[in-house]
Amino acid sequence: MLGVDPAVAGATGYGIVEFLGAKARLLRFGAMKLPARATFAERLREIHELISRLIAEFSPDAVAVESVFTALNIGTALKLAEVRGVVLLAAAQAQVPAHDYSPREVKASIAGYGAASKQQMQQMVSSLLGLAEYPEPPDAADALAVALCHAHAARARDRAAIAMGERIPAALATRSRIRTSRIPVIR
């Protein structure tokens, strides 16, 4: 599962989590912040290349992206939509399904409260992944939260389908296709 927290001016966070049953294991996380002198087009290209490389390396079964926060000013919202677009393009090019979640959905899923603070989110992500310290920078913690949110939602959909008597094809079940060998965490 690849989670992405897109950003226009700040850092775009990413987090890759593997699930073995209901147990989550952190594979990699980080954030890409480009120099202030980089043009917006360069930022889009670099974010697309980063997401494409992560998809190629980890073969996630899904990409989860935080959606545009609607209270932003229109110019920022449009640029953020463009950043999300290159993330979604990278997923589509690799034929990996993409899902989006609002910031409130992510916070409610992970912290149990849709208006949780950044620190509360870092604490919950750390707890859910069994980390000794909070994931830094906060953009990376947000991306991990998006990945965890998608995993919770996908498992809930699978359970509902089973309860309704629907058969879930093995290829669609919420199991990661990521190899299970030991992969070092790079921060």
User: What digits encode the pLDDT tens for the residues 144-187?
Assistant: 999 999 988 887 776 777 888 776 555 444 443 333 333 333 44
pLDDT at 43: 94
pLDDT tens-place string over residues 99-129:
999 999 999 999 888 888 888 999 999 999 9
Is 142 an annotated catalytic residue?
no
Query: For position 23, what pLDDT does the model report?
Result: 86
Name residues whose C-beta falls within 8 Å of residue 17's C-beta, 6 or more positions apart in sequence: 1, 3, 24, 25, 26, 27, 129, 144, 147, 148, 151
The pLDDT score that the predictor gives to residue 170 is 52
Question: Is 100 annotated in the active site?
Answer: no
Strand order in the sheet with 23-32: 23-32, 12-20, 2-5, 63-66, 98-101
More confident residue, 56 or 172: 56
What is the pLDDT at residue 166? 74
Which residue in 49, 66, 142, 158 is the catalytic one?
A: 66
Dihedral of the alpha carbons of 65, 71, 75, 79, in degrees to the nearest 10:
0
Q: String of b and e for 65-95 (b: at least 16 CB within 10 Å)?
A: bbbbeeeeeeeeeebbeebbebbbebbeebe
Q: CATH number of the domain at 2-163, out of 3.30.420.10, 3.40.50.10680, 3.30.470.30, 3.30.70.20?
A: 3.30.420.10
Catalytic residue among 5, 18, 61, 142: 5
pLDDT band at 61 (very low <50, low <70, confident <90, very high): very high
Around 79, how many Cα atoms within 13 Å sit in the side-chain half-sphere?
14
Active-site position among 57, 82, 136, 139 = 139
pLDDT of residue 162: 80
pLDDT at res. 71: 60
Q: Extract the tokens encoding 140.
A: 């990376």
The pLDDT assigned to 72 comes to: 62
